[in-house]
Structure 1
Amino acid sequence: MWGMLLENKTTGRYLSAMSEAHRRKKEPEHVRRAIIESAARLAVNDGFASLSMQAVASAAGVTKGGLLHHFPCKQAMVEAVFKEMMAALDRTIDEEMARDTNPRGSFTRAYVSALRKIEVGLLDERGIPISLSMLIDPALTRRWCDWIGDRLNRHAETDGGVDLEIVRLAADGLWLATMCKSPTSNNAEAVINRLIACTR
């Protein structure tokens, strides 16, 4: 009833069999965050395809069982990293739109400006492997399509029309070139400025 007690042969005192780790206050959100950040960090070098659950668990300082408690499979972990990346993109876009005094095209300008932040490292390189994974993973592709569809519906009044759609599609092309480290993205800053100018 009181738990199994073990006698310490050195001191003669009785110790609970429960380990110190089990007595510590549980911090599930802290553990979950450490797992997500470790997965994103490891994927920068190796990509998500070669990422192992054991490597992520070790990097996050948890057991594999602890990792599986939060993410029962690798796909669930990858989707969690993608969700975090999208949340960061949402915050960046919302901040840009809040500073924009011209409602017309404000979402499109914020969308394009998010690329500028990627270029200067404010949206860090951990987004690169998950962004590329989105191109071949149907679940991530669907999440992206749902996100952009929701945003376009939300901002239809200010950001409708073919001209702004062309700007967003050009931004998508630049984003892909940036993710692939293509030499065609060498003039990214000038391209971004020109695209933003086209929205005014």
Structure 2
Amino acid sequence: MPTDTRDRILDALERLLLDVGLAQVTIEAVAAEAGVSKGGLLYHFPSKEALLAGMVRRLGERTDAQRTQASAAGTSLAEWYLQVPESGTDAELALYRSTIAALRSVDGTHDDVQGAVVDVMRLWDEGLRAEIDDPVRAEIVRLVGDGIYLAALLGLPLPDPDLHRRVVRRLLHGDT
């Protein structure tokens, strides 16, 4: 089966996680949503845990690709991490949805999934600390970025765009 089938399966998993939550996600439901047989799904992912971990690993690959693109365009990792999800491109919004789905997949019972999420988040920590000389400022950037995503996940009001720009400027450049 081609890799587009694998992506279709992972896209279906993400949709289900976002729509109904982890408790309602089954191998059968994902296969039906993806339009593949249960055997076809199990060919790519032999268990629910492997399926969830595959989704998180794909998120890591997509994140790395978008970080590389942002860097090539002159956007710092910290600026990219602090952006409001709804203000981005289609690829950034897709990454945001994947991130939310991955976070919804962590329930404490799937060690491989938990490990994959920790690995992806550790890459962010390492990248921010490599880019920002001050480890305290790097940690503040990470926490603020996490808060922005959490607010979006919970449907809380997003920051005023002008205020958001001022926060990022102050945080990254010390501007008042």
Which deviations, in whole Å up to 9, do the C-alpha atoms of 1:41-61 show, x marking residues without a partner? 222211222112112112222
Which deviations, in whole Å up to 9, do the C-alpha atoms of 1:38-89 show, x marking residues without a partner? 2222222112221121121122222111211111111111111222223222
- Report the equivalent of 2:36: 62
Determine which structure has the larger helix proportion and give its number: 2
Residue identity matched to 2:120: W
Residues 1:174 and 2:148 aligned together: yes
User: 1:159 & 1:42 partners in 2: Cα distance?
Assistant: 37
Residues 1:130 and 2:102 aligned together: yes
TM, length-normalised to structure 1:
0.68
Contact 1:71 1:77 in 2 (8 A): yes
- Aligned residue pair count: 165
Task: Determine what percentage of the aligned residue pairs are the same residue.
Answer: 28
Residues 1:199 and 2:172 aligned together: yes
Residues 1:111 and 2:66 aligned together: no
Of 189-198 and 28-37, more deviation after overlay is shown by 189-198
Note closer, same or farther for the CA distance 1:195–1:54 as it changes in structure 2 (3 Å cut): same
- Report the equivalent of 1:34: 8
Contact 1:82 1:130 in 2 (8 A): yes
* Paired residue secondary structure (2:4): helix
Please state how far the C-alpha of 1:155 moved relative to its aligned partner: 5.8
Residue identity matched to 2:131: T
User: 2:130 & 2:36 partners in 1: Cα distance?
Assistant: 48
Residue identity matched to 1:107: L
* Paired residue secondary structure (2:24): coil
Contact 1:35 1:60 in 2 (8 A): yes
Note closer, same or farther for the CA distance 1:173–1:135 as it changes in structure 2 (3 Å cut): farther
Q: What is the correspondence of 1:37-48 to structure 2 with a 5 Å cutoff?
A: 37-48=11-22
Residues 1:95 and 2:69 aligned together: yes
TM, length-normalised to structure 2:
0.76
Contact 2:9 2:30 in 1 (8 A): yes
Of 150-159 and 53-62, more deviation after overlay is shown by 150-159
Residue identity matched to 1:133: S
- Report the equivalent of 1:158: 131
* Paired residue secondary structure (1:199): helix
User: 1:168 & 1:195 partners in 2: Cα distance?
Assistant: 14
Contact 1:44 1:129 in 2 (8 A): yes
* Paired residue secondary structure (2:29): helix
Note closer, same or farther for the CA distance 1:177–1:154 as it changes in structure 2 (3 Å cut): closer
Unaligned stretches of 5+ in structure 1? Answer: 1-26
Contact 1:109 1:196 in 2 (8 A): yes
Of 147-156 and 42-51, more deviation after overlay is shown by 147-156
